[in-house]
A and B are shown apart, each in its own frame.
Chain A
């Protein structure tokens, strides 16, 4: 026995060398199957990568089919623009009025939401002046403009009032107003040339 040979060295394993081995076929099959499944998943639920399609919709056509109908809202929708033109300068786009200048709010106004709307239509046609209590607060208006001669189209008044009364954003849900209702009151009050006061309005006997 040679004493120079270190016994531990002889037992050392051989230096590893790089070789090649075949990857298992099932791995490739699995990857292919997963890729196929992923593609199918994206096809079904990806909404075609459309930025405007969100869960739970999976295609733009589905979203398009679900668009709510605007039927029955035409008058309300048209009312917003007329409201912005005629009413918003004083009552504000928010309908909160301008209490500093004695402009009462429309939001939660018992006058605007009254059922039936006879007094409301009279107020719009001839205007209002004097003390008035709206939503629990007192206002003393110098005078709301009469719109009888400015807005001669009854339909426009009907649209505005429908918008004010039915505005869900203000928490309103009062009935629609038709041009016939406006025309009828316009005719009944055609002799009147001055603004209403609250006392006079409350005396109005509605038929």
Chain B
């Protein structure tokens, strides 16, 4: 029986369909992605190209196989909302009446304390969007100002690995994208804002157990150079304390690769607020008084 054409067609359509769904369609959807504007500050574009040293660091990250143990994708499974009172207004009686209605199971004394306390005050915690919106709608006509806070939730966010989920935009300028698939170590999508100290990263690369006793990460000592101290210790030499320090007269200096890798790690920040991932970020507190107050409390040291 000559089933050749039939088999050919079957294989052709199976491959064509998967190419269509897995390659062509995503390319149509995301292929022409551009920098997005930051939602809370429209004058900022996100993402920015990584600085040159960090871009070289991506290659180091890739060549050392960091992606075998570290992912760069924060998941988010849900969201919850808080309602905060940002301004109690002037009509105290009405605000308190509205607060009593909004906050179930509260008494007048509690609510009065809320309205008098320093702003912002959290009124409702972990409520669905509809409840939060209803609360704001009840409070605003009284002259008070209330705000709905959007809080992403999920196991990764609980672990502190990110403030929000990762989205395609975060990887716009990376080639290749170091998504990773295994998590022998923590997720690094937002490590730059989690651990912003370059020295910490250098020490951690030299020997992770200096900083984290239980770490299973291998030391990357070959990224550092051990050499005799010259006339003066090098300013970039690692500063040790205790048993991990090299013997007297020697110092540990990071190589270019170590510095590039750290620059890359510090550039990993997924905290911008863009359309796809709305979160509420802190905003500058309002001016305390209309006019400058008395003597500076935070006087600079002489």
Contact = CB atoms under 8 A, between A and B. Distances in A.
A107 B75 CA distance: 31
Contacts of B300: 110-111, 114, 119, 133, 198, 202
Contacts of B29: 49, 51
B241 interface: no
A15 interface: no
Given A51-B168, A63-B278, A175 B288 contact: yes
Contact of A206 (B43, B147, B165, B293): B293
B223 to A, nearest CB: 25
Contacts of A56: 76-79
Nearest to B196: A171
Given A52-B276, A173-B284, A66 B40 contact: no
A74 B152 CA distance: 24
Interface residues of A, number: 52
B214 interface: no
Q: Which of A69, A184, A185 has the most CB of B within 10 A?
A: A69
A54 B165 contact: yes
Contacts, number: 139
Contact of B275 (A63, A70, A115): A63
Contacts of B76: 54-56
B299 A114 contact: yes
Interface stretch (A1-9, A30-38, A161-169): A161-169
Contacts of A72: 86, 283, 286
A80 B292 contact: no
B41 to A, nearest CB: 5
A53 B168 CA distance: 11
A73 interface: yes
A185 B43 CA distance: 29
Given A113-B298, A185-B292, A76 B283 contact: yes
A65 B129 contact: yes
Contacts of A76: 41, 283-284
Given A67-B275, A166-B284, 19 more contacts: A51-B168, A53-B276, A54-B276, A55-B75, A55-B165, A56-B76, A63-B278, A66-B129, A68-B281, A73-B283, A73-B284, A76-B284, A77-B40, A111-B300, A116-B294, A119-B296, A175-B286, A175-B288, A206-B294
28 contacts: A53-B276, A56-B79, A66-B79, A66-B278, A68-B278, A68-B281, A73-B40, A73-B41, A73-B283, A73-B284, A76-B284, A78-B43, A80-B41, A110-B300, A110-B301, A111-B300, A114-B296, A116-B289, A116-B294, A116-B297, A117-B292, A119-B296, A176-B287, A180-B291, A181-B290, A181-B291, A206-B294, A206-B296
Question: Across chains A and B, which 3 residue pairs bring their CB atoms closest together, nearest first?
Answer: A166-B284, A51-B29, A66-B278
Interface of B: 29-30, 39-44, 75-79, 86, 129, 147, 150, 165, 167-168, 273, 275-302
